Amino acid sequence: MEVFNIVDDYLGVKRVALRVAEWLRKSVHESGIDEIVKLNWNDVTRRIDWLAEEMVIKLLEEEGYGGIVVTEERGVVHLGDGEENFIFIVDPLDGSNNYLAGIPYASVSIGVAEMKNHPSLNDVVYGIIASVFTEEVYEAKKGAGAYLNGSRLPLRRDFYLGDFILAYLNAEAYDIFRKVEEVIGPFKLRSLGSASLDICLVASGRATAFIDIRARLRITDIAAAQLVLKEAGGMIYDKFGSELDLNVLKDRNVRSIVAFPGENAYEKYKFIFDIIREEIGSEN
């Protein structure tokens, strides 16, 4: 087994993610965690989201990091008074609806980019996704590969479940997937509720694609996972097949994402970009 060794700069980030995941696992039955504390036009913040995010920020400060934290709930937060070396892109509970419903599919996601002007997804140098309930830990360092609990991804290059697509659905997507079925025949479609874990399933070779065209994901949902995917040899695009390279400080919303575990899956499914253009146009 090839073991993942990361540089000391990010060991503290890993400790933070694991501590928050453990706390979430122990807190799942606490009363009041489902209380709504904030409403946005397309999202709800509940007390568990707010507390988990607060814990991430506090623990990053305790680890001695300086920088900016891009958060789901608080926006941009500055750490401490020291030199700002890093940008942390944080989703403290990706899959909060699952978590509150007792569905064991949720994660803590932290991506790290080095501080620079106009930082993009391509500048994310470390990512960790800690599964709350299964204790699986995905992590990647740019240029050093991606790993699940120490085993290099993808887990098995010959692992194959057939046409197994993870996706989030709206009215437009239903029509698109009907067209996909006309091309490849019946396939397995799942909407699981935690985008970071979904992308990691693709990275591990256990799913053949992840697709979301709803424009509801945020940069915090995918910053860490997209690095895991790319370091595992996967490919990630917007819905028209262009490179997905967003500014991690300015582009809060992710309008679309299409991810594949590698070249073979891309070649098989790239027709979906033409279907999307036909169904919703090239400017949407």
Residue 159 lies in a domain: no
Return d(Cα 145, Cα 231) in angstroms, integer.
5
Q: What is the pLDDT of residue 9?
A: 72
Give the C-alpha distances (Å, rounded to integers) separating 131 from 17, 199, 243, 256: 9, 13, 27, 24
Same domain, 69 and 144: yes
Same domain, 184 and 248: yes
Of 88, 118, 152, which one is at a domain's C-terminal end? 152
Cβ count within 10 A of residue 162: 9
Residue 212 lies in a domain: yes
What is the per-residue pLDDT across 31-74, written as a single tens digit (0 to 9) for each? Answer: 999 998 887 756 788 999 999 999 999 999 999 998 999 998 88
Q: What is the pLDDT of residue 42?
A: 66
Of 130, 152, 174, which one is at a domain's C-terminal end? 152
Residue 2 lies in a domain: no
Q: What is the pLDDT of residue 12?
A: 94
Same domain, 136 and 28: yes
Residue 257, domain CATH: 3.40.190.80
Q: What is the pLDDT of residue 162?
A: 77
Spatial strand order in the sheet of 151-152: 76-79, 67-70, 86-94, 107-114, 124-131, 137-141, 145-148, 151-152
pTM: 0.93
What domain range is 125 assigned to? 8-152
Same domain, 100 and 121: yes
Same domain, 14 and 138: yes
Same domain, 261 and 216: yes
Nearest residue to 45 via CA among 105, 116, 93: 93
Asked whether 72 and 52 are in contact (CB, 8 A), the reply is: no
Residue 43, domain CATH: 3.30.540.10
Residue 144 lies in a domain: yes
Q: What is the pLDDT of residue 186?
A: 92
What is the per-residue pLDDT across 113-134, written as a single tens digit (0 to 9) for each? Answer: 988 889 999 999 999 999 999 9
Of 152, 176, 197, which one is at a domain's C-terminal end? 152
Same domain, 15 and 142: yes
Same domain, 230 and 102: no
Residue 264 lies in a domain: yes
SS3 for the chain, per residue? CCCCCCCHHHHHHHHHHHHHHHHHHHHCCCCCCCCEEEECCCCEEEHHHHHHHHHHHHHHHHCCCCEEEECCCCCEEEECCCCCCEEEEEEEEECHHHHHHCCCCCEEEEEEEECCCCCEHHHEEEEEEEECCCCCEEEEECCCEEEECCEECCCCCCCCCCCEEEEECCHHHHHHHHHHHHHHCCCEEECCCCHHHHHHHHHCCCCCEEEECCCCEEHHHHHHHHHHHHHCCCEEECCCCCECCCECCCCCEECCEEEECCHHHHHHHCHHHHHHHHHHCCCC
- pLDDT below 50 — which residues of the chain? 1-4, 6
